[in-house]
């Protein structure tokens, strides 16, 4: 069978355990395909799209996996977190085990769209400074957002310890203390440092889109979703016009808005 692999190897590639553990799962009747337990670990199947049930978990096998997570506040983008739980703890063990990595990092107190993938080429495409992938943030500020601040963010600000000015690709006011910012670069704490450079301070930060792919409305904080290949193209398209033009303060996530200081 062209492109086929033994079942135990397929399960191993999907993160369900070591070679030995996968063989043991098969031997124990824990793997079902089309409703039937498969007991032959060497039996050949095509990997891509194979629908398996692994100890009660339904899974469609894929050679590469991409995941969108709605990151809640209080999670670190690290496999070895220091002060808070890891975002990897929000994913199923088999995805972590197969080696998905965060696409860039969000601060522990930042909420919103975080991607994971085990596709090195995609990780590079989305994070390399040469590719200028848009990231759109809603920013809740301590001080009022003035016209001068918006203008400075659009034309470029100089960050401390970094002489090259950085400009927002797009920047609009959402309300007196909130703005929406699209960046096509990704420096360390970039949004917080840009707001500090214009004399304001970030109280809450929420990433609402990567490229033209918005955080899905029905993905609650802490929930994740697999992305299909069509979505990958959307990730590298410029931020959709709707993100720039139809912003409204009512779209603030309650978690971030709740952390705003009282007016």
For 164, phi then psi, to 5°, come to -75, 125
One residue of 30, 111, 190, 200 binding ligand URA per CB under 6 A: 190
Q: Tell whether residue 191 is a contact of ligand URA (CB under 6 A).
A: yes
- Taking the complex as a whole, the smallest distance from the CB of residue 45 to ligand URA amounts, in Å, to 41
Map the footprint of ligand URA across residues 91-120, applying CB under 6 A. Answer: 106-107, 110
Return the closest-CA partner of residue 104 out of 210, 193, 181, 202: 210
Residues constituting the chain: 263
How far apart CA 81 and CA 58 sit, in angstroms, is: 30
Q: Of 3, 14, 103, whose CA–CA distance to 57 is shortest? A: 14
Binding mask 199-238 for ligand URA (x = CB under 6 A): ------x---------------------------------
- The distance of closest approach from Cβ of residue 149 to ligand URA in the complex, given in angstroms and rounded to an integer, is 16
- Which residue lies nearer to ligand URA by CB, 107 or 175? 107
Give the residue numbers annotated as catalytic, written as ranges.
107
Q: Select from 213, 183, 203 the least CA-distant residue to 139.
A: 203
**The one segment of 19-27, 166-174, 186-194, 215-223 that binds ligand URA by CB under 6 A:** 186-194
What are the DSSP calls for 201-236, one per residue? -EEEEEEEEETTEEPPTT--TT-EEE--HHHHHHHT
The residue ranges that bind ligand URA (CB under 6 A) are 106-107, 110, 189-192, 205
């Amino acid at each position: 069978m062209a492109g086929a692999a033994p079942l135990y190897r397929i399960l191993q590639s999907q993160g369900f355990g070591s070679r030995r553990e996968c063989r043991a799962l098969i031997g124990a009747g824990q793997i079902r395909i089309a409703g039937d337990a498969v007991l032959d670990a060497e039996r050949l199947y095509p990997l891509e799209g194979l629908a398996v049930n692994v100890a009660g978990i339904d899974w469609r096998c894929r050679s590469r996996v991409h995941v969108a997570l709605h990151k809640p506040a209080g999670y670190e983008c690290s496999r070895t977190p220091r002060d808070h739980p890891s975002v990897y703890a929000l994913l199923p063990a088999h995805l972590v085990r197969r080696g998905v990595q965060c696409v860039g990092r969000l601060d522990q107190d930042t909420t919103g769209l975080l991607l994971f993938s085990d596709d090195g080429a995609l990780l590079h495409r989305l994070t390399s400074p040469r590719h200028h992938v848009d990231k759109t943030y809603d920013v809740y500020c301590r001080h009022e957002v003035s016209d001068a601040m918006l203008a400075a963010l659009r034309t470029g600000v100089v960050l401390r310890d970094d002489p090259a000015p950085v400009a927002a690709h797009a920047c609009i006011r959402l309300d007196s203390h909130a703005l929406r910012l699209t960046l096509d670069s990704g420096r360390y704490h970039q949004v917080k440092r840009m707001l500090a450079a214009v004399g304001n301070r970030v109280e809450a930060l929420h990433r609402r889109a990567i490229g033209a792919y918005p955080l899905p409305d029905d993905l609650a904080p802490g929930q994740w979703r697999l992305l299909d290949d069509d979505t990958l193209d959307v990730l590298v398209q410029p931020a959709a016009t709707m993100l720039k033009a139809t912003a409204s303060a009512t779209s603030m996530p309650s978690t971030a808005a709740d952390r705003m200081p009282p007016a």
